[in-house]
Amino acid sequence: MKNLLTLFASLCMVFLFGCASPNTGTEAGHAGVFEGKPRINAPHVVGNYPSTPFLFYIPTSGLRPVTWSAENLPDGLALNPETGIISGSVKKAGVYAVKLTAKNPLGSTAQNLTISIGNDLALTPPMGWNSWNTFGQHLTEALIIETADAMIANGMRDLGYTYINIDDFWQLVDRGEDGRMQINREKFPNGIKHVADYLHARGFKLGIYSDAAERTCGGVCGSYGYEDIDALDFAAWGVDYLKYDYCGAPQKREVAIERYSAMGKALRKTDRSIVYSICEWGINQPWLWAKGVGGHCWRTTWDIRDRWMSPTYTNETNGVLNIIGINGDLDQYAGPGGWNDPDMLIVGISGKSQSINHGDVKEGCSDEQYRSHMSMWAMMAAPLLCGNDVRNMSAVTLETLTNPEIIAINQDALGKQGQRKINTEALEVWVKELSDGSKAIACLNKTGNPVDLRLGKGGIISIGTNAEIRDVWTHRNLGKIQSLDVHLSPYECKVYTVK
Ligand code: GLA
């Protein structure tokens, strides 16, 4: 009887939703990552230094199997049509316009990819995963490998999450007698190169962590005075990204510039294209000098904690809103090759962090708050480095992290950080210019009460006349309209594209 009732209830649901879904005549609905025709996701521009290893997995959603092809690849690069990985090395600097195609049993799609060989990396904000926010000191080779496998299986790799970054605690406290940093073999029994090889074979890149002093924030070995030796080791292991912290170093701008430039130069002398992430938490205004010392992104704030908001901005308690508050004023400093970094994502951590830094504050956020956090990091052209346990996450968390339209706003090739246009106690409205001449608008409700506003004619922000508006969280075109009344639920952030 109970089964019959359940069946009846399910049939009613199908009937109800089948009939009730509004006929918008638009592209409503968002297929799962591995459903439907192929779609080549962002980024559509990638940079690499000349004569260094190039690696790019073409992030592609759609039903499997997919096969890829490429036209006009520069000399030195080849695409594996079965894996979607472009690799090799290009000697000649230049901007190469490549045409990619992805085919699956349901169809085929083409997409341009600009490969820029020169002095710039990170032409769009780096995307990936970092061990710190959830795992802290508890990181191992098995964790990294399982994370990579999970990011393939759950589709994150196909949404552009590329870097898998090992944070603090991969190394021992002391250098070896040969002056070299020592890998903690209990955690990484086969060394770092073994992990890098595993990741590279699957189109991921590997990040590592060190510090511009003798010891890191966690008290293990840092690189100060050994920059050249360490950079060469990182390169020999196949590292693609270095996060360089600042614990234990003097809090003076000249010293920060000197220490960061020593590592910047050391990385540049290696034979790899290594993204350089400067992590001195914004105290010496790195947005003014970090790019000049070789940095590709620079932290603008103290660490993020797994929460929506701290009553005050401190180095131990900040949540999403505290960080938006500061990073939001720095838009003029961000651009292709050099990004403001408002710290890593906390989406889906939900109070489960084991990191010492998160020990005191782990209240977590609601799904709505995490979605708003994701939206705002996209609008701020921030690096999208998630930090949850991707081996085990809810469907809502995965959906929050893998919305291709939100990611496309973040990864847009124009590389403009959104501007905060309206900032009241309850509401922020942000506008981000996009490379096709359109713009993204985000309306963020910071509070636990609903907020109503109007965009466009008679409203608080112009949207132009006859604008084509799309809601990128519901995946619905709202048509050509003069104005839009927006209702924001508590903590909601609505994001629109306006063409
Ligand atoms: C600092 C950084 C964090 C993390 C820890 C590791 O606090 O800001 O992101 O790397 O160190 O100890």
The mean pLDDT of 441-468, rounded to a whole number, is: 94
Spatial distance between the Cα atoms of 401 and 31, rounded to a whole number of angstroms: 14
User: Is there a cis peptide before residue 250, judged by omega within 30 degrees of 0?
Assistant: no
Residue nearest to atom 8 of ligand 1 (CA): 303
Report pLDDT for 149: 98
The mean pLDDT of 435-439, rounded to a whole number, is: 96
Spatial distance between the Cα atoms of 445 and 490, rounded to a whole number of angstroms: 6
CB-defined site of ligand 1, < 6 Å: 132, 167-168, 216-218, 245, 279, 303, 357
**Pocket perturbation via mutation, ligand 1, pick of 303, 304, 318 by most ligand atoms within 8 A of CB:** 303
For residue 133, the CA-to-ligand 1 centroid distance in Å is 9
Residue 295, both tokens: 């940095």
Instruction: Indicate if the pLDDT at residue 132 is higher than 90.
Output: yes
**Pocket perturbation via mutation, ligand 1, pick of 131, 138, 168 by most ligand atoms within 8 A of CB:** 168
Query: Is 233 annotated in the active site?
Result: no
User: Exposed (0-12), middle (13-18) or buried (19+): which is 327, by Cβ within 10 Å?
Assistant: buried
Residues with Cβ within 8 Å of residue 29, at least 6 apart in sequence: 475
Report pLDDT for 340: 99
Instruction: Indicate if the pLDDT at residue 114 is higher than 90.
Output: yes
For residue 249, the CA-to-ligand 1 centroid distance in Å is 14
Catalytic residue among 168, 230, 240, 245: 245
Query: Is 303 annotated in the active site?
Result: yes
Instruction: Indicate if the pLDDT at residue 217 is higher than 90.
Output: yes
For residue 217, the CA-to-ligand 1 centroid distance in Å is 6
Instruction: Indicate if the pLDDT at residue 15 is higher than 50.
Output: no
Report pLDDT for 1: 39
The mean pLDDT of 208-227, rounded to a whole number, is: 98
Residue nearest to atom 1 of ligand 1 (CA): 217
Q: Which atom of ligand 1 is nearest to the CA of 243?
A: 10
Spatial distance between the Cα atoms of 269 and 276, rounded to a whole number of angstroms: 13
Residue range 283-339, pLDDT digits in tens: 999 999 999 999 999 999 999 999 999 999 999 899 999 999 999 999 999 999 999
Q: What are phi and psi of 388, to 5 degrees?
A: -85, 175
Spatial distance between the Cα atoms of 248 and 244, rounded to a whole number of angstroms: 12
**Pocket perturbation via mutation, ligand 1, pick of 129, 132, 173, 277 by most ligand atoms within 8 A of CB:** 132
In which residue are the tokens 């940079």 written?
47
Dihedral angle over CA of 496, 30, 381, 305, nearest 10? 110
CA 446 to chain centre: 22
For residue 496, the CA-to-ligand 1 centroid distance in Å is 34
Dihedral angle over CA of 379, 385, 390, 395, nearest 10? 0
The C-alpha angle 338, 343, 348, rounded to 5 degrees, equals: 130
**Identity (one letter) of the amino acid at 475?**
H
Spatial distance between the Cα atoms of 215 and 356, rounded to a whole number of angstroms: 16
**396: confidence class by pLDDT, cuts 50, 70, 90:** very high
Catalytic residue among 240, 303, 343, 389: 303
The mean pLDDT of 370-380, rounded to a whole number, is: 98
**Pocket perturbation via mutation, ligand 1, pick of 133, 138, 167, 215 by most ligand atoms within 8 A of CB:** 167
Residue nearest to atom 5 of ligand 1 (CA): 217
Instruction: Indicate if the pLDDT at residue 420 is higher than 90.
Output: yes
Report pLDDT for 31: 63
- Who wins on pLDDT, 13 or 384? 384
Residue range 50-105, pLDDT digits in tens: 999 999 999 999 999 999 999 999 999 999 999 999 999 999 999 999 999 999 99
Residue range 142-191, pLDDT digits in tens: 999 999 999 999 999 999 999 999 999 999 999 999 999 999 999 999 99
For residue 461, the CA-to-ligand 1 centroid distance in Å is 38
Q: Which atom of ligand 1 is nearest to the CA of 167?
A: 10
Q: Which atom of ligand 1 is nearest to the CA of 343?
A: 9
For residue 340, the CA-to-ligand 1 centroid distance in Å is 16
Residue nearest to atom 3 of ligand 1 (CA): 303
Single out the residue of 460, 472, 466 nearest to residue 497, CA to CA: 472
